[in-house]
Amino acid sequence: MDFLYKRVLKPILFLFDPEVVHDFFIWSGESLGGFGLTRKLTSFFYGYNDDVSVSDATVGRRDISKTVDGIRYRIPVLLSAGFDYDGRLTQILPSLAFGGEEVGSVTARPCAGNHKPRLIRLPKSQSVIVNKGLRNAGVEALIVKLKKEFMDRKSGINKEKLCLDLHNDQSFVIGISIARTNDECSVDIEAGIDDYAYSFKRLNEEGIGDYYTINISCPNAFGGEAFATPDLLTKLLARLSIISCTKPVYIKMPINLPWEQFYDLLKVIDFYKLQGVVIGNLNKDYGSLGVRAEAPEEYAGGLSGLPCRQLSSDLISRTRKAYGKRFTIIGVGGIMSVADAREKFAAGADLIQLITGMIWNGPGFMKEICVDLQDFL
Ligand SMILES: Cc1cc2nc3c(=O)[nH]c(=O)nc-3n(C[C@H](O)[C@H](O)[C@H](O)COP(=O)(O)O)c2cc1C
C-alpha cells in the first residue's frame, strides 16, 4: 500500500492544487468514517491494532498507550491542528493509527481564509507554504458538529464528559485549538482577547474538547502574532484563567524566537499554571528551506515539514532541560520519517503531532511510527 501511495497516487495528487487535494481528502475521510465497514477496512490496512492482552511482540502488537495530564492516548501520535479545521475526520482518524487529533484552529467567528493560493507545495524542500488564514466555520458550528457526534455515539452518557469514545473500546482524544478570528474586528488587543475568551468559554460551557490549545503563533492573519510577547500573553492568560476549565490547556508556540524570548513566554505559561506547550508552529524563515529558490520572496505563509524539524526539536530539548517535568510537551514539526518521530520523543516530547509527514509518506506513515515505538518508548 505504501508503494502504491508513494509511486502511483502521490505523483498524481501532486499534479493538483494542494487545497483541492486537501478538500478531497477531507471529503473522502468523512465519507469513509461514516460506515463501520469502511472504517474496519481502513483499520485493517492502516490501523495500529494493539492487543493489550498479548505481551509477546511476535504474536500481537504491543500496547504503546500513554496517559498525559490524566488523558489516556491509545497511540501517542496525533494529527496536528490545521488539517481538520471543522472536526470532520473524527470518525476515520482512529482507523489511521492516530490516537487523537487537534481540531481547528477554530475562531469565535467563521473565517473565509486568506486569498488563494493558500497552500503551495515545495517538493524538493519537503515542505508546504501555509497561508490558510484559519479558514473555518467558527466555534458555534464546531460545537454543533462535535456535540452531534458525541450524542449519536454515546447517547445517554454524561454530556459534560468529553472523551469521544468513537470505536467503543478505542478512545480517541480530541483536542481543540483556539485562535483569534482572522478579520479586522479582532485586531485590537482587547477585542482579540475577547475573541479568544469567547471560544474558550463556549467550548468549556458545552464540555467539547478533551484538551485545549491556545494558538498564539498563527502567521499571516490579521493582527499577526501579537500574543507571542510576554506582556500580551500575560493579559490573555489573565483573562482566560478566570474562565472555569477542568481540561488541560496548552499553548502553541512559535519556533522562530531566540531561546531567551521563548523562555520568557514559558515563564508566563508557568505562572498561569497551564499544563504545557505544543512546540511548535510553522517556520517563518524561508532561508531554512532545503532549496531556497522554491519559495520566491513574494510568497506569503509559514513553512511546514522538514524546515521545522530542527528548530522544534531544539526548543523541545531546551524546554525539557530548563523545566524538567513541569510542562507537558507536545512535539510537532518536520516529522517526515520514523527516525524523526524518535527524535521528538528523545528530545523530551510526551506526545507527537504531524501533518506534512503524512502528506509525503501516505496514510500508512502513522502505523510505521507506532510499530517503531513498540521498541522505543
Ligand atoms: C495546511 C496547514 C494548516 C495549518 N493550520 C494551522 C492552524 O490552524 N493552527 C495551528 O496551530 N497550526 C496550524 N498548522 C501548523 C501545524 O499544526 C504544524 O504545527 C506544522 O505544520 C508543523 O508540523 P508538520 O511539519 O508535521 O506539518 C497548519 C499546518 C498546515 C500544513
In this predicted model, what pLDDT tens digit does every residue of 312-357 receive, in sequence order?
999 999 999 999 999 999 999 999 999 999 999 999 999 999 999 9
pLDDT digits (tens, 9 = 90+) for 311-321: 999 999 999 99
- Determine the distance separating the centroid of ligand 1 and the alpha carbon of 106, expressed in angstroms: 13
Residues with CB under 6 A from ligand 1: 80-82, 104-105, 119, 128, 130, 132, 134, 177, 215, 218, 252, 281-282, 304-305, 308, 332-335, 354-357
At 150 the pLDDT is: 62
Q: What are the residues whose beta carbons fall under 8 Å from the beta carbon of 312, sequence distance 6 or more?
A: 255, 279, 280, 331, 332, 333, 334, 344
- Determine the distance separating the centroid of ligand 1 and the alpha carbon of 303, expressed in angstroms: 9
At 49 the pLDDT is: 80
- The parent domain of residue 147 ranges over 2-376
Q: Which atom of ligand 1 is nearest to the CA of 354?
A: 26
> Which residue minimizes the CA distance to atom 29 of ligand 1?
82
- Determine the distance separating the centroid of ligand 1 and the alpha carbon of 355, expressed in angstroms: 7
Q: Are 153 and 165 spatial neighbours (Cβ–Cβ below 8 Å)?
A: yes
Residue 241, pLDDT above cutoff 90: yes
3-state helix, strand, coil in the chain (%, to 5): 40, 20, 40
Q: Number of folded domains in the chain? A: 1
Q: Dihedral (C-alpha) 273, 276, 281, 284: value to the nearest 10 degrees?
A: 60
Q: Are 333 and 280 spatial neighbours (Cβ–Cβ below 8 Å)?
A: yes
- The helix/strand/coil state of 50 is strand
Is the pTM higher than 0.75? The answer reads yes
Q: Which atom of ligand 1 is nearest to the CA of 308?
A: 25
At 152 the pLDDT is: 63
Q: What are the residues whose beta carbons fall under 8 Å from the beta carbon of 49, sequence distance 6 or more?
A: 43, 61
- Determine the distance separating the centroid of ligand 1 and the alpha carbon of 58, expressed in angstroms: 36
> Which residue minimizes the CA distance to atom 5 of ligand 1?
82
In the chain, % of residues over pLDDT 90: 73
- The helix/strand/coil state of 174 is strand
Task: Report the relative pairing of strands 66-68 and 302-303 from DSSP bridges.
Answer: unpaired
Q: Are 57 and 374 spatial neighbours (Cβ–Cβ below 8 Å)?
A: yes
CATH number at residue 126: 3.20.20.70
Q: What are the residues whose beta carbons fall under 8 Å from the beta carbon of 56, sequence distance 6 or more?
A: none
Q: Are 354 and 332 spatial neighbours (Cβ–Cβ below 8 Å)?
A: yes
Half-sphere exposure of 244 (CA within 13 A, CB side): 3
Burial of 145 (0-12, 13-18, 19+ CB in 10 A): middle
Ligand 1 pocket test: pick from 105, 126, 304, 329 the residue with the most ligand atoms within 8 Å of its Cβ.
Answer: 304
At 331 the pLDDT is: 98
Question: Cα dihedral sign for 86, 87, 92, 98?
Answer: positive
Q: What is the mean pLDDT of residues 90-107?
A: 94
Element (H, E) at 202: helix 189-206
